Structure 1
């Protein structure tokens, strides 16, 4: 995605309209020129590539567009930069600085230090080390000295699509709330959307049902007690997943800070499913949060007949829906559901436990982080029908299995 300084938008009243590049000959030519430059830079340093990009920008008025496209091309999605050095740069610096401190200043001091260290490393490593290798590797791990070893070139059209998507994603960095209406969709699309919401850890309240559609109220990063940049990125990452859903509309409430005066103004942003944006996410791919992924790995090593399934059905509750993280299936036919409650705001926790009570399911295991202060959130577990399992940093399979047995 694009950093805030490369985002471009205009206002129509309070409505924010992100910059989009049409796929015309001029923009395709710019994209092609940048892609060609990156292809030619393979095997060179990031610093040299950046100097060429600055020359390409020149004095043109569209420098921010070129810089934004170049930023996307230099991301992990297309480019792989690595430190290329026969020796560990931090070790080399430590050894060189230590030797330099013991050497009296003289015209040949640098060469003497390099040769002394080369001789010592040759003896320690059992292979010849040259002073030139030390000099080349001394700062090889700095960003400008890293080497572009791989470049997976997109088509010019794909790059412009990614740019347009990134401009729209940037709007969500300053969202306080997003209301998403998804209606008359295939049930599988709902499940895919809900899995992405769980993957990115978005604080979402869901109302509705699969027959009539769902209204999702998603907290934005500026709604938190302390605005969270990481959370804003997660919210923005949800948009390419949403593009795989057929019919939807969203409205976002924004808190926008003026770069000159520092004042904050309210803004709005709306988007419909027929928006012309193109997703780069593969459709239908299963994702897990880090907490869930770690649990899956540990469950695979556990000695148990219980099978852990990631695909689960929606649990309808009055006016809403609950989506458990996992289903546990035993060969004898028993089936249990597992919901993991990690790190959330008090308001969201109240909604979550209210859903659990409304569901009234006694086949549900609720794994709750001990880091949550439920008392401060005003949450009592006395009337919760689910079986409770507590965990600290990681949810252990043995704790869940023990809950099953009891």
Structure 2
């Protein structure tokens, strides 16, 4: 963005437009000269650069445009003090040596000499760099070159961003490209709603002028959304612009991809600034490390919340086709949150949790559950909610399975594979078999094994002592987990160290009653 005093606009019949720089021969020549000043200015003081740019004012272009171009060029420049020592330390030593104001050249020279000797530099060097850390005294150390037409396009983008800093709302249409724009809006923490569907779908973002206490910070975030919009092949924006010149007025602003030739294209935007969404990323990383059965999804599908509105939550947790959504709230106004919650209450058959920054001072009775946080979203209330949902899910599925006739075929049947075929959670099916084991089968770990097959395996294992050999035999019989079968057959395992190679199996002795019988 540009400083507000450099914004150049025209108004007509309630509409406002930035005065973009058309790439005419005169404008391109001005841009070329200014780029030349910077390209040839490495090592020059910032004040010298500014003086050279100022000499170009007063021509065919508004002085604000020249200064605006300079502001853009400064974003691609680096300045640093041209000093072997910290000028602040030099001044501290000089003021200490003077013991008061230096009223004449002699006193000044004496203080400067004492300071320079302490820092190991010449008096002449100390005199040159005494104020070297001031902005005008810093020297140009790096400049990222660009073409004249790129400079004009970047200036036009900055004009658009600066104007939208005064917007009350921004309505965006980007047919076929809306999801990257929405994703960026969410990353930036902007307050938004989705209206309509299909090609007519609109993303409506609240403007800085509607967020009274967040104007500067929020306006900067909104400005960062604009490059993502103009990257789309087809787009249009509409905004209400609040002006405070003489008396407040609300003007309308609109722009579309038909004006795209005046704005940066992909290669001219430069490196896009990535939003540091540490809060969301940190939560995602911490939850993923838990190994939960619930799968966490980032930016799941949109939720319709009635009246043609839609909503895209931050996360969804999914287990056996059941989804519970989570929205993290950290940069919204209380009024916006209240409206959002009311809309979510109207979402049919949607389970949603909301995590709210405690500093916002919001209290709500949202039925889906509210988790308050300070620095990071706590995992425990999230996990507790998911565990309750899993218990409900298991109870429902087990109850459903009790009324089903489940066909079992084969000597060894995988519970997991059977669950997939039946479309039920494998945990629920295993719990069902624990209480209702099919006739003629034994539940061994995650497999159903025919009793006749177990008897066959028992005879094959006769005389086998090495655990490794026993496991190989069981694997050849289709058994994936040997230990439940070995235990069923009355074998104990004796380990010799941690490796399986030296381990042995031995049948437990039958008790006396069994022997006497």
- TM-score, with length taken from structure 1: 0.81
Equivalences for residues 198-347 of structure 1 within 5 A: 198-209=186-197, 211-226=198-213, 228-258=215-245, 262-276=246-260, 277-279=262-264, 289-290=275-276, 292-297=277-282, 300=285, 304-305=290-291, 310-318=298-306, 319-326=308-315, 337-347=325-335
- Count of residues in correspondence between the two structures: 381
Between structures 1 and 2, the one with greater helix share: 2
Q: Contact 1:255–1:265 at 8 Å: present in 2 too?
A: yes
How far is the alpha carbon of 1:403 from its aligned partner?
A: 5.9
Q: Could you tell me which residue of structure 2 aligns to residue 371 of structure 1?
A: 359
CA 1:141–1:107 in 2, change beyond 3 Å: closer, same or farther?
closer
**2:168 matched to 1:179?**
no
1 CA distance for matches of 2:351 and 2:98? 69
How far is the alpha carbon of 1:393 from its aligned partner?
A: 3.6
2 CA distance for matches of 1:168 and 1:286? 17
Equivalences for residues 65-76 of structure 1 within 5 A: 65-75=65-75
Q: Contact 1:175–1:253 at 8 Å: present in 2 too?
A: yes
Q: Could you tell me which residue of structure 1 aligns to residue 79 of structure 2?
A: 81
Q: Contact 2:90–2:116 at 8 Å: present in 1 too?
A: no
How far is the alpha carbon of 1:58 from its aligned partner?
A: 4.9
1:116-135 CA distances to partner (integer Å, 9 max, x unpaired)?
Answer: 223334xxxxxx44434443
Q: Contact 2:300–2:316 at 8 Å: present in 1 too?
A: yes
CA 1:396–1:139 in 2, change beyond 3 Å: closer, same or farther?
farther
How far is the alpha carbon of 1:114 from its aligned partner?
A: 2.3
1 CA distance for matches of 2:273 and 2:183? 7
Higher alpha-carbon Rg: 2
Q: Could you tell me which residue of structure 2 aligns to residue 2 of structure 1?
A: 2
Gaps of 5+ in 2: 389-517
Q: Could you tell me which residue of structure 1 aligns to residue 373 of structure 2?
A: 391
CA 1:312–1:103 in 2, change beyond 3 Å: closer, same or farther?
same
Give the secondary structure class of the aligned counterpart of 1:42: coil
CA 1:106–1:33 in 2, change beyond 3 Å: closer, same or farther?
closer
2:157 to 150, 160, 165: 165
Q: Contact 1:374–1:380 at 8 Å: present in 2 too?
A: no
Give the secondary structure class of the aligned counterpart of 1:254: strand
Give the secondary structure class of the aligned counterpart of 2:2: coil
Q: Could you tell me which residue of structure 1 aligns to residue 94 of structure 2?
A: 96
Q: Contact 1:252–1:269 at 8 Å: present in 2 too?
A: yes
CA 1:325–1:397 in 2, change beyond 3 Å: closer, same or farther?
same
How far is the alpha carbon of 1:299 from its aligned partner?
A: 5.8
**Higher-RCO chain (CA-CA 8 Å, sequence separation at least 6):** 1
1 CA distance for matches of 2:109 and 2:318? 69
CA-based RMSD of the aligned residues comes to: 3.3
Equivalences for residues 51-130 of structure 1 within 5 A: 51-58=51-58, 62-75=62-75, 78-101=76-99, 105=103, 107-121=105-119, 128-130=120-122
Give the secondary structure class of the aligned counterpart of 1:371: helix
Gaps of 5+ in 1: 122-127
How far is the alpha carbon of 1:55 from its aligned partner?
A: 1.8
1:201-220 CA distances to partner (integer Å, 9 max, x unpaired)?
Answer: 322122233x3442233222
1:231-272 CA distances to partner (integer Å, 9 max, x unpaired)?
Answer: 3333233222111234443322222122xxx22223111222
CA 1:297–1:342 in 2, change beyond 3 Å: closer, same or farther?
closer
Q: Contact 1:196–1:287 at 8 Å: present in 2 too?
A: no
Q: Could you tell me which residue of structure 2 aligns to residue 144 of structure 1?
A: 136
How far is the alpha carbon of 1:102 from its aligned partner?
A: 5.5
